[in-house]
């Protein structure tokens, strides 16, 4: 059969089928590509898992600078010069009123809250030590600082809550020590003093 023997309607139907299949293929590729596009807002969405939360607070709008130092069972130390170590992280380093500014509804204002937080991202058996350092004092009167330690999983459990009175620049006190057993449960707490600053600074003042 010669090409001239093909009916015009048959040629038109073949062309229509070819065009339809091509469009169908392009539509399939478009849908596939669209489903693979990731939301750019998800790029920085990192799961911040925490097992233990340590919160240190002192009087709002108070100008004094208080630092938190935490030692884990392996001797790793987290503080303002080393904010991330092993499984611990200093989430917020508060310096009193110094550079304590936030933007609210487009207006920069002073943040009145004095608070530091440290998180443990996993549980390791052994003893943890939580110390407070009165880095800078502006008054002679003692500064009352509260310390709250919470175990977050599977439910929020209060491990320790207490107040430490810091007496001036350079005063370092142990707020609490807590021990985790092999199952990640609290095995005990105490407030026996253990200096950490000397270790943190390598013996330098």
Kindly list the domain boundaries of the chain, sorted by start residue.
3-41, 52-201
Contacts of 100 (CB under 8 A, 6+ apart): 94, 110, 111
8 Å CB contact between 171 and 121: no
Whether domain 52-201 has CATH 2.50.20.10? no
pLDDT at res. 132: 98
Query: The tokens 């105490």 sit on which residue?
Result: 190
Sheet holding 143-151, edge to edge: 84-85, 88-92, 114-120, 52-58, 143-151, 157-166
> pLDDT per residue over 83-124, tens digit each?
998 899 998 765 545 445 555 566 555 667 899 999 999 999
| Dihedral angle, C-alpha 130, 95, 49, 150, nearest 10 ° | 40
Q: Which of 63, 69, 78 is nearest to 143 (CA)?
A: 63
Return the pLDDT at 152.
95
- Assess contact for 171 and 156: CB atoms under 8 A: no
Give the per-residue pLDDT at 198: 87
pLDDT value of position 157: 95
Burial of 176 (0-12, 13-18, 19+ CB in 10 A): buried
Q: Which helix (H) or strand (E) holds 117?
A: strand 114-120
Other beta carbons less than 10 A from residue 95's beta carbon:
17
Give the model's pLDDT for residue 44.
43
Q: What is the pLDDT of residue 195?
A: 96
Residue showing tokens 């009167």: 141
The predicted model scores a pTM of 0.70
Q: Chain-centre distance of CA 70, in angstroms?
A: 15
3-state helix, strand, coil in the chain (%, to 5): 20, 40, 40
Which mean pLDDT values do the consecutive 10-residue runs of the chain (205 residues) have?
52 67 68 56 55 95 93 94 90 58 58 88 96 95 97 95 97 98 95 91 64
């Amino acid at each position: 059969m010669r090409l001239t023997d093909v009916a015009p309607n048959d040629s038109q139907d073949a062309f229509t089928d070819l065009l339809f299949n091509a469009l169908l293929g392009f539509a399939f590729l478009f849908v596939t590509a669209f489903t693979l596009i990731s939301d750019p807002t998800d790029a920085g969405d990192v799961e911040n898992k925490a097992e233990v939360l340590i919160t240190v607070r002192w009087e709002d709008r108070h100008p004094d600078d208080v630092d938190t130092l935490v030692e884990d069972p392996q001797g790793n130390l987290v503080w303002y010069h080393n904010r991330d170590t092993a499984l611990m992280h200093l989430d917020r380093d508060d310096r009193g009123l110094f550079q304590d500014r936030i933007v609210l509804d487009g207006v920069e204002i002073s943040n009145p809250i004095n608070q530091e937080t440290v998180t443990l991202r996993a549980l390791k058996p052994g003893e943890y030590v939580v110390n407070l350092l009165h880095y800078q004092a502006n008054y002679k009167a003692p500064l009352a600082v509260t310390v709250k330690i919470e175990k977050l999983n599977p439910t929020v459990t209060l491990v320790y809550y207490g107040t430490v009175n810091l007496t001036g620049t350079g005063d370092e006190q142990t707020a609490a020590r807590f021990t985790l057993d092999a199952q990640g449960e609290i095995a005990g707490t105490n407030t026996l003093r253990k200096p950490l600053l000397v270790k943190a600074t390598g013996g330098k003042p």
